[in-house]
Amino acid sequence: MNKLLHIAILKGGWSAEREVSLVSGAACAKALASLGHKVTEIDVGRDIADVLARTKPDVVFNALHGRFGEDGCMQGLLELMGIPYTHSGVMASSIAMDKPMAKKIFESIGLRCPKGMELTREELLKGDPMKRPFVIKPANEGSSVGVHIVTETENRSIGMMIGDGAWRMENAPNPEQPRYLVEEYIPGREITSAVLNDKALGVTELRTKSGFYDYENKYTGGKTEHLCPAPLPKEIYEETMRMALAAHRVLGCRGLTRSDLRYDESRGMEGLYLLEINTQPGMTPLSLSPELAAYAGISFEKLVQMLVDDALKDQMPNVKCQK
Encode pLDDT of 242-264 as tens digits: 999 999 999 999 999 999 999 99
pLDDT of residue 317: 46
**3-state class (DSSP) for residue 120:** strand
Model confidence band, residue 127 (pLDDT cutoffs 50, 70, 90): confident
Model confidence band, residue 155 (pLDDT cutoffs 50, 70, 90): confident
pLDDT digits (tens, 9 = 90+) for 176-216: 577 899 999 999 999 999 999 999 999 999 998 755 544 45
- Is the separation of the CB atoms in 151 and 132 below 8 Å? yes
What's the pTM? 0.89
Closest by CA to 18, choosing from 50, 49, 44, 47, is 44
Element housing 65 (H / E):
none
Closest by CA to 94, choosing from 76, 79, 108, 113, is 76
pLDDT digits (tens, 9 = 90+) for 1-33: 468 999 999 999 998 889 999 999 999 999 999
pLDDT of residue 314: 61
- Residue 112, CB-side half-sphere exposure with 13 Å CA sphere: 15
Question: Which residues belong to the active site?
Answer: 17, 143, 219, 258, 260, 276, 278, 282
pLDDT of residue 230: 98
**In the predicted structure, residue 173 carries a pLDDT above the cut 80:** no
Angle at 85 between CA 81 and CA 91, to 5 degrees: 85
What is the gyration radius of the CA atoms in the chain, in angstroms? 19
**3-state class (DSSP) for residue 54:** helix
